[in-house]
Amino acid sequence: MSNYEKMMERTKWFREDRFGMFIHWGLYTIPARGEWIRCSEKMSKEKYEEYFNEFYPTQYDPKKWARLAKTAGMKYAVMTAKHHDGFCLFDSKYTEYKSTNTKAKRDLIREYVEAFRAEGIKVGIYYSLIDWHHDDYPHYGDMYHPMRDNEAFKDVKHDFKNYLKYMHNQIEELVTNYGKIDLMWFDFSYGDMVGEKWEATKIVELVRKHQPGILIDNRMGSAGNNMMAGGIRDEEPCIYAGDFASPEKIIPIEPIKNKAGKQIPWEACVTMNDNWGYSSKDKNFKSPETLIKTLVNCVSKDGNLLLNVGPNSKGEIPEESVDILESIGKWMRYNSDSIYGCGSSCYEKPQWGRYTQKGNKLYAHILEEPIGPVYFEGMKESIEKARFLKDGSELKVETPWNAEEYKDYGFITLPSHAFKTNYPVVVELTIK
């Protein structure tokens, strides 16, 4: 099998599940000004370590998180084991900078993995390639390090090989000590810190040695918009090109394809508000309606949605996020057939919404209440039957008296109660 064929085989479940939970959690929840606080405020290591001494998430209950994810209709999850600040939420023997050495004295990743797996949710682990805590990670002159322009670090020498050994050792811990891991989410490459700078081939070989069927994102082989030769868009991607593309806070205009025009699995990672990590002043939450439409938009273009939550320092998911996920779950309860296992359609995008498709089932997501019936261009003779997905009731395909000039159009009149909310209304069409 070619590398492309292996990628498509591995991602079969991923392209079925379509909807996942992203979890950003760490020491940065205490200052509560976002996960990049050390970088944005150029905070010293010593100052930031004050939060290590304070970290005590007494309300952390991953079983509760897992139940919430399941309620929302999420099929997989990805949680930060280590973010750019270098703090480890797992019990690594290679550092003292870890959750088991805080007041919590808990391996937070182990508890997460066990809780989500118990609910039937596939588990993924996020691991930052970057580490602002490690002494051998580049400081002065780096693009993002908090001490990037601090003259005191100008002549300090760093043994990057030593950092790579540390990083590889920790990655091996994560793929050997926690049972089956479904996905590794590495973050991120930039400038010349990309590809073999991380010894990416060795990382992939190490990960797949212990977890043969695991999925790996594309961020070791991609630095921003700079897609390297052998990257995921190439006809024959290299070993560390990744199994899926990972656009951030943006939905592609159309399905992502490689240079040969073949489908590439992808996943848009999206925040509920403006930050990944908990920010006490960030109340700019997106509505459930917007996020459901975003999920539909992703699936209609052969993509997934990885929707983020940022628990606070106590270990609680904010009430706003809980309410949003419960609302999404209510919609998914009736309409998940139009999401799971679906992808793009062979029919053109309609003016009134989006199509998703699974075999001969075409799902019409109507995003705004129409004046009169909903029309299906060129489909009058190809629709075998139609039903209102929410309750399964039959819908007639007909041509009303005021639309007789549109000879090849099918028209469906929806129930009057269909548009009582701003959520997408879904009609399932069986195509002949």
Overall average pLDDT of the 41-66 stretch: 98
Split at pLDDT 50, 70, 90, the class of 416 is: confident
Instruction: For 130-143, write each residue's pLDDT tens digit.
Output: 999 999 999 999 99
Which fold does the domain 353-431 belong to in CATH? Immunoglobulin-like (2.60.40)
What mean pLDDT do residues 279-301 have? 99
Please compute the mean of the pLDDT values over residues 188-214 and round it to a whole number. 97
Position of tokens 């600040």?
85
What's the mean pLDDT in 309-330?
Answer: 99
**Average pLDDT over all residues of the chain:** 97
Task: Indicate the fold that domain 3-338 takes in CATH.
Answer: TIM Barrel (3.20.20)
pLDDT digit string, tens, across residues 349-361: 999 999 999 999 9
Region class of 195: left (phi > 0), else alpha (psi between -120 and 50), else beta:
left
Asked if pLDDT for residue 256 goes beyond 60, the answer is yes
Per-residue confidence (pLDDT) for residue 53, from 0 to 100 = 97
Please check the confidence at residue 223 and state whether its pLDDT lies above 80. Answer: no
With vertex at residue 130, the alpha carbon angle to CA 125 and CA 134, rounded to the nearest 5 degrees, is 110
User: Dihedral sign, CA of 34, 39, 40, 45?
Assistant: positive
The pLDDT of residue 297: 99
**What is the spatial order of strands in the sheet that 425-431 belongs to?**
353-358, 361-366, 425-431, 383-388, 393-395
- State the span(s) of the chain assigned CATH 3.20.20.80: 3-338
> Which residue spans of the chain are classified as CATH 2.60.40.1180?
353-431
Closest to 399 measured CA to CA, from 426, 371, 373: 373
pLDDT in tens, 64-83: 999 999 999 999 999 999 99
Residue 227 has pLDDT above 70, yes or no: no
Q: Which percentage of the chain shows pLDDT scores above 70?
A: 99
